[in-house]
Amino acid sequence: MDHQGCNKPSNQAVLDFVAKVAKLTTPDQVFWIDGSEAEKQSLYDQAVADGILMKLNQEKLPGCYYGRSNPNDVARVEQLTFICTPTREEAGPTNNWAAPAEMHTKLNGLLAGCMKGRTMYVIPYLMGPAGSPLTKVGIEITDSIMVVLNMRIMARIGALAYKHLGGGDDFNRGIHSMLDINPERRFIVHFPQENTIVSVGSNYGGNVLLGKKCLALRIGSYLGRNEGWMAEHMLLLCVENPQGKKAYVAAAFPSACGKTNFAMMIPPAHFNGWKITTIGDDIAWMRPGPDGRLYAINPEAGYFGVAPGTNYKSNPNAMKTIAKDTIYTNVALTEDLDVWWEGKDGPVPAKLTDWKGNPWTPASTEKAAHPNSRFTAPMANNPVLASEVEAAAGVPISAIIFGGRRASTMPLVMEAFSWSHGVYLGASMGSEMTAAAVGGAGQVRRDPMAMLPFAGYDMGEYFGHWLQMGKALKFAPQIYHVNWFRKDKDGNFMWPGFGENMRVLKWVVERCEGTAGAYETPVGRMPLPCEFDVEGLDGFTKESFEAVQKIDKEEWKKELLLQTEFFLTLNRTLPKELVFERELLASRIS
Ligand code: OXD
Ligand code: MN
């Protein structure tokens, strides 16, 4: 039964786990993934033969493949995502909860016999560089060849995971079955106490690449609280100044606010000699180091990014990253099997096949690419990949940046007065929803630390853990809040964004080094207008800077009410530090 793949481990706990799942799901065969190049090619060939993937134009896009998902399965499903802790309180008011025993019974019913006629793949993987004390081992069992091919880009897979695990049983147990890709039978379920994830009924990355959102954020945040570290929805980058001095920055923005663009940013010509390199674009695992600083790793090995809007202006390095060895999902296809999406460079092609497989022309009323169409690309392709990405000890973080998409109220940049004020800035973070999201366009949804869909336990306790971590650090990073999206009264963006965000980043790192000035406002410290570099910015003057930094007390009073409304929902466990921070803010803006 298990003759394929040559990576059957000797670890008894893994063998027992796989045997138990095989007994329940009754696959025709078990395929032990070894992560080799030969295996990769045979899996791609199999996926093409089965009609699951299509080979793209290999002259234009060497090593690239294309897949379409079921139209009912194109995004993460927060309403079907569960945290099954022994009590509802442990999961907290921002998560869906079910009792673990009940949920196991329900899932076992769905899993019984579900792999009959299918191959069961066993993927051993590492989240984090081999040899890092922060790295975790996962075993994902799946009946989807798409999951195997995407996982081999997004994580370090194969024998190295068994080596890291040794003879122990400390690994995340992940079970995935597509079932019949039916939203009625779709559940993404986490059992934090059992270090187990069960995902059924979907084949979409965020729901099924279990190392990513499920392990690295939801289970990771739970493990981090117990073990004294942090799992965060953050990009990680290195800024190098013209003197060769490096600083490392982590930044949390909600989904679709430009994390990948920021992580791969090219400093504009004005910043001759400055360099940005990428450590991660989505997830950071951080823990205090022996010197009292906070050290971070990127647990992932690839980028699972949104294609629409990606182009040579918004992110030239991403365009280069996805030019080879990439899997595209739900984008549009040109006649010569190249990929296309809304916002790609160049003229709109006269004829395309859209993400559903239908003919498309510029006259069509529907989008050619799904708005959440994706690329899965190895980080090794990134022209500005930081060498530190493999550093087992991680990199010492100087600054943490929080940010959202806000048309009003929030200035371009401000610095927190202290760690607890910084935690408050993160905890009260909000971002405007797009027209597609429930709740209506322009409405601000609170998304604390960009972790609303990803915290694996009670949100108030999670804030408490942040405050605890500050106490565990001798040299805690300085915390900032940014908003690239403020608009003037005519609805125009007040800040050019993209590469010009380098001006804000420069102030941030120079503050951390103690070489840039600041002044205090009721909401945070701000760059001195006489110091903030606006040279070479077309039409953007010192006055424009003051306008984008303006604090409108009336707007802030409304903001405070909205923050209070959100905090009330977390009332049971909201740390008192945050209550006091809110009171201080209220008195400063009154
Ligand atoms: C992602 C997300 O896919 O945040 O990274 O949804
Ligand atoms: Mn994300």
* Tens place of pLDDT per residue across the chain (590 aa): 444 556 899 999 999 999 999 999 999 999 999 999 999 999 999 999 999 999 999 999 999 999 999 999 999 999 999 999 999 999 999 999 999 999 999 999 999 999 999 999 999 999 999 999 999 999 999 999 999 999 999 999 999 999 999 999 999 999 999 999 999 999 999 999 999 999 999 999 999 999 999 999 999 999 999 999 999 999 999 999 999 999 999 999 998 788 999 999 999 999 999 999 999 999 999 999 999 999 999 999 999 999 999 999 999 999 999 999 999 999 999 999 999 999 999 999 999 999 999 999 999 999 999 999 999 999 999 999 999 999 999 999 999 999 999 999 999 999 999 999 999 999 999 998 754 444 455 688 999 999 999 999 999 999 999 999 999 999 999 999 999 999 999 999 999 999 999 999 999 999 999 999 999 999 999 999 999 999 999 999 999 999 999 999 999 999 999 999 999 999 999 999 999 999 999 999 99
Q: Provide the H-helix boundaries in 316-358.
A: 316-321
Q: DSSP E strands: which ranges in 220-357?
A: 230-232, 235-240, 246-252, 275-280, 284-288, 294-297, 302-306, 327-329, 332-333, 339-340, 352-353
Q: Using most ligand atoms within 8 A of CB, pick from 188, 259, 282, 370 the residue to mutate for ligand 1.
A: 282
| CA R_g for the chain | 24
| Closest ligand by atom to 252 CA | 2
Instruction: For residue 416, give the 3-state DSSP assignment.
Output: coil
The secondary structure of residue 442, as a DSSP letter, is: T
What does the pLDDT read at residue 436? Answer: 41
Q: Specify the length of the chain in residues.
A: 590
Please state the atom number of ligand 1 nearest to the C-alpha of residue 374.
3
Q: Provide the H-helix boundaries in 231-307.
A: 259-263
From the CA of 206, how far away is ligand 1's center (Å)? Answer: 7
d(CA 539, CA 39): 55
Please state the atom number of ligand 1 nearest to the C-alpha of residue 254.
4
Ligand 1 touching residue 255 (CB < 6 A): yes
- Check 238, 257, 512, 530 and give the catalytic one: 257
Residue with CA at minimum distance from ligand 1 atom 6: 255
Report the Cα 308 to chain-centroid distance in Å. Answer: 17
Instruction: Please say if 257 is a catalytic residue.
Output: yes
Sort residue 551 into left (φ over 0), alpha (ψ -120 to 50) or beta: beta
From the CA of 213, how far away is ligand 2's center (Å)? Answer: 8
Packing angle between helix 576-589 and helix 419-427, nearest 10 degrees? 90
Helix (H) or strand (E) holding 431: strand 430-432
Q: Using most ligand atoms within 8 A of CB, pick from 76, 217, 232, 372 the residue to mutate for ligand 1.
A: 76
Residue with CA at minimum distance from ligand 1 atom 2: 255
Does the reported pTM lie above 0.85? Answer: yes
What does the block give as tokens for 10?
């000797």
Is residue 181 classed exposed, middle or buried when 0-12, 13-18 and 19+ CB atoms within 10 A define those classes?
Answer: middle
From the CA of 126, how far away is ligand 1's center (Å)? Answer: 20
What does the block give as tokens for 324?
């080879």
From the CA of 515, how far away is ligand 1's center (Å)? Answer: 35
Dihedral (C-alpha) 37, 39, 42, 48: value to the nearest 10 degrees?
A: -90
Q: Are 246 and 512 in contact (CB under 8 A)?
A: no
Q: Which residues contact 101 (CB under 8 A, 6 or more apart)?
A: none
Ligand 1 touching residue 281 (CB < 6 A): no
Ligand 1 touching residue 256 (CB < 6 A): no
Ligand 1 touching residue 374 (CB < 6 A): no
Q: Which residues contact 154 (CB under 8 A, 6 or more apart)?
A: 209, 211, 212, 300, 301, 302, 304, 376
Ligand 1 touching residue 206 (CB < 6 A): yes
What does the pLDDT read at residue 574? Answer: 98
